Amino acid sequence: MNLDFQHCIRCTICLENCPVFRVNSDFPGPKQSGPDSQRFRCDGETPVDHWITLCSQCRRCEIACPYGVNPAEIILREQLDYGKKHYRPLVSRLFSRVYYLGNLISLIAPVANRLVSVKIVRRLMAFTGISDYLKLPPYRFHAMKRSWRWKGSHKSKRKVAFFYGCYLNYNRPDIGRKIRDLFASAGFRVVLPGQVCCGLPALGNGDLAAARRLAGRNVSILEEYIDRGFDILYSCTSCGLMLTQCYPGILDMEGGKKIAENTYNIHEYLLKLMDEGLLNLIFESVTEKAAYHIPCHLKALGIGYPGAMLLERIPGLEITVMDDLCCGLAGTYGLRKKNQDTSYRLGIIAARALRDTGASYIITDCATCRLQLSQLSGMPARDPAEILFESLKGSVNMKRKKKL
């Protein structure tokens, strides 16, 4: 058992950085739910474990801890154990299978999108435990998985495999195709691997077995591409966290370390190319003011804010970076009825701060952040990749003097 909880000195910095603790008095915070309770568990006693179900797994406690304690991972392991001992509600079972549901829903996307707007259907969804204060994003029939699987020259020595994730697959494949086309135009051979869900929804809803099954399929697919000289790219920060931290970490996947060592955020990757003089992106001048909301899982990745750094290179674009507030949705966490009040309160706080910037729109890397903040603030919310692509001027110039 990982005993890093013993390094906790009860400084309460994690409490100061915990968004759920801020608005939900029923949650005692990451210190008590994590390291403090773990001491009782190691002694064979049973702490009040229902606390742990209130944690959103935003990972802000781990980022803040000055002693390297991982409260969120301790809590996550106990959440999984709690799921084995207690009945998991229907909504958790549904959300742990969002990939399979997405496959089905995308096939009947026009019908499904109309159905979720019907009041009786919304009531039925609420009855199953699904939150009802947000409009769910529409699905698309022409999903990423139904796109061309590769673009660019077979002869190119620069090769990337794009792990696009569930949201770009089923809800915004247009953004995914722009990402694919950008790298292809830059001289890369781009492949869309036959991937499945990263496994985070299953892990977050207490189904470790399902998470490991999904991760196992991805590892076997991505390892093959890595062995053929491909780098793995992702745009979803939560998918990136799974691939680079959870696969070799809590899931302990064979091959997980190889995946982590060869996987990059798309903006991180572009910045590296540009800074090494291998890629020249020419941006048009833009006279706009945007608020950049930093997702919690981007902070947890520990790679800085590469999307914001890229956007700052666009002439005339004024960006206010907001990195101290959580949107509250946290993937499927806020879509569960029992967490609706917590999610809504946090979302209102973040939305209010974003409106106060005077920006015309919100930019954020996370799809669920965009969903929550756009609806609660009344401001448009966009993926940073959308802004980059619209601002590009002329062709992309790739120099081939050295490898990345």
pLDDT in tens, 253-268: 999 999 999 999 999 9
Q: CA angle 345-351-356, nearest 5°?
A: 130
Position 2 scores a pLDDT of 47
Q: What percent of the chain has pLDDT over 70?
A: 94
Q: Which residue has the tokens 């802004």?
A: 387
Give the 3-state secondary structure of residue 188.
coil
Residue 205 CA to residue 79 CA, distance in Å, equals 9
- pTM score, whole prediction: 0.91
Per-residue pLDDT tens over the stretch 309-350: 999 999 999 999 999 999 999 999 999 999 999 999 999 999
How confident is the model at residue 24, as a pLDDT?
95
**Contact by Cβ (8 Å): 145, 102:** no
Residues of the chain with pLDDT under 50: 1-2, 398, 400-404
pLDDT of residue 15: 92
How many angstroms from the chain centroid is the CA of residue 403? 29
CATH code of domain 279-391? 3.40.50.1860
User: How many Cβ atoms are within 10 Å of 72's Cβ, its own excluded?
Assistant: 25
Query: What is the CATH code for 144-272?
Result: 3.40.50
Residue 370: predicted pLDDT: 97
Judge whether 4-85 and 144-272 match in fold.
no
Task: Tell me the H-state helices in 249-339.
Answer: 256-261, 266-275, 296-301, 306-311
Q: What is the Cα–Cα distance from 304 to 302, expressed in whole angstroms?
A: 6
**Whole-Å CA distances, 124 to 98, 109, 116:** 18, 19, 10
Q: What is residue 104's three-state secondary structure? A: helix
Helical H segments across 284-339, by residue range? 296-301, 306-311
Which class is 4-85 in CATH?
mainly alpha
pLDDT reported for residue 109: 93
Residue with tokens 């994003």: 137
Q: How far is C-alpha 162 from the geometric centre of its chain's CA atoms? A: 15
Q: What are the helix (H) ranges across 128-185?
A: 165-170, 173-185
Q: How many CB atoms lie within 10 A of CB 367?
A: 25
363: left (phi over 0), alpha (psi -120 to 50) or beta: beta
Q: What is the pLDDT of residue 26?
A: 93
What are the sequence ranges of the domains in the chain? 4-85, 144-272, 279-391
Q: What is the mean pLDDT of the chain?
A: 90
